[in-house]
Amino acid sequence: MALCTTIAIDSTLCNGCGLCAAVCPYGVLAPGEDGLSRHDGRDCFLCDHCRAVCPAGAISIEGHGSCLGLHTVAEKAQGPLPGPSLVAETVALMRQRRSCRNYRPEPVPLVILEDLARIGTTAPSGTNCQGWSFTILPERADLLRFGGLCAEFFRRLNTLAASPPLRLWSRLFGGDALGRYHRNHRQSVIEALDHWDRDGRDLLFHGAAAAILVAARRDSSCPGEDAMLATANILLSAEAMGLGSCLIGFATEAIRHSPKIRASLQLPSEEDVHAVIALGYPAIRFARPAARRPVQPRVLRLAGEERPG
């Protein structure tokens, strides 16, 4: 947890409205005798709500910028007003984003990939840890090198998964991970590796021009959730930028289990990769938005006292 001394309230600007205290999840802000906001000196997790809500601009937080520092996107000081047209646009963007498996060969400028990583940081994170990191592979040649290492990993895994005694061992001690891989993926991976060797067809990254690896520090409150929420924001923004994207779970798994791949990607030992996002300009545009199986949410109303005990 960060120290609250990094929150500064300018008493010449504070108008005593109390909004900062009202939004503070830790309750460390309160009006002083003069009615102006004071920090009580306790630690907080620097969520930035107080600075963001203050109508007088009286609060600053050391080390926090007021914008993301994007180079390819004009940042707005105010978001759009909530309402039906914003909902319609948002849902349309979400439905328009599909996993892209057909890319044009041109590269994605590094400055765009860097902006996407910055946009990822708009996601929520457990106790505002923001323990994520973003590794950009902007060159297709590096995706091919990375893909070669993944191919090596999956060849070895295929040999292991072909062994019934090892699958039995995995079922008894390893939660059946090897058996599940054998049943669900081994054959398609054999075919993909065959293509990779025979005609250079890239069924791992689908010919994407670049990738962003989203990792998180293991000591964060919720590393997996934080990384995947940042990933979702990157996927949606990539769609809005006219880029195609696809999560590559096979590459994430290969990184997770191969020290050699981790080393080649120069990943810090305290981080785990939770998502590999392939990116590039789409060669094909979908004519219709995503269709999904209908979902019926369960609606619950609990009987009994409002506050038991």
Ligand X SMILES: Cc1cc2nc3c(=O)[nH]c(=O)nc-3n(C[C@H](O)[C@H](O)[C@H](O)COP(=O)(O)O)c2cc1C
Q: Which residues bind ligand X (CB under 6 A)?
A: 98-99, 101, 246-250, 290
The distance of closest approach from Cβ of residue 227 to ligand X in the complex, given in angstroms and rounded to an integer, is 11
Q: Which is nearer to ligand X, 136 or 246 (CB)?
A: 246
Closest CA to 167 of 182, 156, 152, 153: 182
Nearer to ligand X among residue 98 and residue 217 (C-beta): 98
What whole-number distance in Å separates Cα of residue 72 and Cα of residue 262? 30
Q: What is the token pair recorded at 214? A: 């989203």
Measured in residues, the chain has a length of: 309
Residue nearer to ligand X on the CB measure, 113 or 235:
235
Nearer to ligand X (CB atom), residue 38 or residue 180: 180
Taking CB positions, which residue lies at the least distance from ligand X?
Answer: 249
Q: d(Cα 244, Cα 282) in Å, to the nearest integer?
A: 5
Please name the residues in contact with 267: beta carbons below 8 A apart, sequence gap of 6 or more. 135, 215, 255, 273
Of 36 and 223, CB closest to ligand X: 223
Shortest CB 279 distance to ligand X, Å: 13
Name residue 38's beta-bridge partners.
30
* Conformational region of residue 41, where left means phi above 0, alpha means psi within -120 to 50, and beta covers everything else: left
Write down the least CB distance from residue 247 to ligand X, Å: 4
CB of 117 to ligand X, least distance (A): 19
Tokens of 141: 């040649």
d(CA 96, CA 240): 9
Phi-psi region of 28 (alpha: psi -120 to 50; beta: other; left: phi over 0): alpha
Q: Give the residue with the Cβ less far from ligand X, 99 or 159.
A: 99
State how far the alpha carbon of 293 is from the alpha carbons of 43, 96, 290, 296, in Å. Answer: 46, 16, 10, 10
The type of residue at 174 is: G
β-partners of residue 275 are 214
Which residue lies nearer to ligand X by CB, 160 or 232?
232
User: Could you tell me the smallest distance in angstroms from the CB atom of residue 286 to ligand X?
Assistant: 8
Cβ-contact 252, 282 below 8 angstroms = no
Residue 95 Cβ vs ligand X, minimum distance, rounded to whole Å: 9
CB of 238 to ligand X, least distance (A): 12
